[in-house]
Amino acid sequence: MATVSSIAQPTPFERALKLIRPQFGPITLGVFLILLASAVTLPAPWILKLVIDDALPARDLHRLGAYLAVFTLLFVARSLLTLWRNRVLQYAAMRVTCDLRISLFRHLQSLSLRYFDANQTGKVISRVTQDTGELYNLTNNFLINLIADSVTVVGVLAFLFWVEWRLALGVTLVLPFFAINYLYNRRKMKQEARVHRDNWDNVVGFLQERVAAARVVKSFGREAAESDAFADGINADYFNFSKLVMRNTRLGVIADALGSLGGLIVLGFGGWLVIEGRMQVGTLVAFNAYIVYVFPPIVRFVDLAAVFQRANTALENIFAVFDTRPEVVDDAEKPALPAPTRGEVEFARVSFDYDLEPPGKGRPRTLTDVSFRVPPGLMVAIVGPSGSGKTTLINLLARFYDPASGEIRVDGHEIRSVAIESLRSQIGIVLQDNVLFSGTLEDNIKYGRPDATREQILDAARTANADEFIAKLPDGYSTVVGERGARLSGGQRQRVAIARAILKDPRILIFDEATSALDTQSERLIQQAMECLMKGRTTFVIAHRLSTIQRADLILVMDAGRLVESGRHDELVGRGGLYSKLHALQFQEPV
Ligand code: ATP
């Protein structure tokens, strides 16, 4: 995986600002509405003072009515403005989050297989679903709470200083303690938020794997053990998260106590000023009401600390994904591989390692110095013991990974020098584990060629011997196949995958023959379908059946990452090397 450069990296928040930028318009409107809402809220307690100090002593009902009317108007205006501002800002926050999810998924699609090898599926899913949600919280809370509250606090304090500076000063003395309380706990909260996030990632990763492999869990009777392991993960998270929550609660309680202390100062010092005749009762009441505007927002700032910490951790995770560069890169300048290709494939001294570290002593490379040339249209069987590098060979041909050294050429073009899309459009792959997507059979067949007509789809299915079983299904081609094609048999899945490859009409075909034997009928249908598919194409079969291998024009024998023998079946059997041993021991006769 690519590493993240550490020099002069902007902080996650600075980078998040860039994501928020497209929504600056609505956000500016939202901030303006916040200011307006604060402006109509601030005079309210002062009306209280006017009622007490002006209307009541004068026993003037008209004046009282007028004050109450203004009071009502202010609150109606405030409610409407709050409604409008929340709508504007929440929509903006949601848009930012949706855009981030889309670009994150797009980026994930561009990443090389090595990234997905190294990162648990659940964690990747957690990046796109949960971490991005924290950006929503941040945008929303940041804007609505932080800006609204800051404006209120500053406005009210300024006003209180103007009304009675000595009392305001008393109140302000409490404020530094809020800051100390927050700063003291911030670093700890950051660490705890990170531990919680990492732990939660593990829980989601575990959950995803166990749900996807429910069949394996059941077949080994591990339901109870898996439930216990899940409980352990959740309980560990409970412990971490409780620590975080408790710290936040402590922060909140101390902040609350400091707020009450502010109230006490107002009542004590203000009461004394009233008794001394230096202040009117109404002013004291108004002061008390204004205090309610100052302290709760400051307590909320403290709550925001938790949102900030979680958002910070989530943003770090998200940007780590964005900073991972695709290892197999394609730049727009590269020419396309001329189509249709003839299908000549050449490996020239190709070496490769899944591990990016240079191989040390005793650790062999996954592939070492593999060279061969396949003229167009041949059927090539790749054989060799398990782990010898057969799948790796085709992974490199499809450019899922790039070789560490050596060259791979298609029709004489080095595959790294042409656009990946043009290369892959010429390659069709039918794997053992034929993953179908949860959609209809028709959608699955036309996956590689979405613009195919109905007629072309039916043709492909017929050639793949899939039409017959599909026609018998109640919903035919509109049958929904279930996640990963779970509602089809192994043989049916394989034939759908062959139809998918036929429709794509590639010049080079890669076929990973199933190791598990299917019943005779299924096997025959697949063999026939493969015969049709292979005609006129260069085909690489990772072969396990003797019948397939015997038919091959060329057999490549792999052993521990090296190409040790190549030739036709009869030649190789006569040679008495690895192939003849494998022939005797391993290849299955057709059932
Ligand atoms: P099989 O017949 O069992 O499928 P194979 O000949 O196709 O085996 P490969 O899948 O090419 O073998 O694997 C070659 C070696 O590379 C093995 O030692 C394997 O452990 C290793 N390997 C395969 N895939 C990865 C991966 N994604 N990351 C790291 N190592 C891998």
Residue type for position 534: M
Q: Which residues contact 570 (CB under 8 A, 6 or more apart)?
A: none
pLDDT of amino acid 361 = 63
**What's residue 228's pLDDT?**
95
Domains defined for the chain, CATH in brackets: 8-322 (1.20.1560.10)
Protein residue whose Cα sits closest to atom 28 of ligand 1: 354
Q: What is the 8-class DSSP label of residue 363?
A: -
212 Cα–ligand 1 center, Å: 22
pLDDT for 6 beyond 50: no
Mean pLDDT, the chain, as a whole number? 85
Distances (CA, A) of 281 to 273, 284, 530, 547: 9, 5, 95, 103
Q: Say what the pTM is.
A: 0.77
Question: Does pLDDT of 237 surpass 50?
Answer: yes
* CA dihedral sign of residues 305, 306, 307, 311: positive
Take atom 26 of ligand 1 and give the residue whose Cα is closest: 354
- At residue 533, does pLDDT exceed 50? yes
Mutate to test the pocket of ligand 1, among 119, 350, 366 (most ligand atoms within 8 A of CB): 366
Confidence of residue 363 (pLDDT cuts 50, 70, 90): low
Question: For residue 213, how far is its CA from the centre of ligand 1 (angstroms)?
Answer: 21
| Higher pLDDT pick, 471 / 361 | 471
For residue 240 and ligand 1, the question of a CB distance below 6 A is answered with no
- Render pLDDT for 439-460 as a digit per residue (tens, 0 to 9): 888 988 988 888 989 999 998 8
pLDDT of res. 481 = 82
**Partners of 567 in beta bridges:** 555
- pLDDT value of position 117: 84
pLDDT of residue 589: 57
Q: Letter for the amino acid at 228?
A: D
CA 562 / ligand 1 centre spacing (Å): 13
Q: CA–CA distance from 398 to each of 350, 403, 416 (Å)?
A: 14, 11, 11
Q: What are phi and psi of 540, to 5 degrees?
A: -110, 120
Q: Is the pLDDT confidence value at 7 over 60? A: no
Atom 3 (ligand 1): residue with closest C-alpha? 386
pLDDT tens digits for range 482-502? 766 667 887 888 888 888 888
Distance CA 443, CA 481 (A): 10
Looking at 446-489, list the stretches that DSSP marks H as alpha helix, in order from N- to C-terminal side.
454-463, 467-472
Report the alpha-carbon distance of residue 105 to residue 435 in Å, rounded: 20
Which residue has the CA at smallest separation from atom 9 of ligand 1?
A: 389
Q: Output 317 or 146, whichever has higher pLDDT.
A: 317
Q: What is the pLDDT confidence band of residue 587, given thresholds at 50, 70 and 90? A: low
Per-residue confidence band for 63, with pLDDT thresholds at 50, 70 and 90: very high
Residue 217 has pLDDT above 50, yes or no: yes
Identify the residue whose C-alpha is closest to ligand 1 atom 17: 387
384 lines ligand 1 (CB under 6 A): yes
What is the band of 1 on the pLDDT scale with cuts at 50, 70, 90? Answer: very low
Backbone angles phi, psi at 454, to 5 degrees: -60, -40
Residue percentage of the chain with pLDDT more than 70 = 94
3-state secondary structure at position 566: strand
Which pLDDT score, from 0 to 100, does residue 360 have? 63
pLDDT at 586: 66
Q: Which of 1, 119, 391 is the pocket-test mutation for ligand 1 (most atoms within 8 Å of CB)? A: 391
Residue 101: pLDDT band with limits 50, 70, 90: very high
Q: Which residues contact 3 (CB under 8 A, 6 or more apart)?
A: none
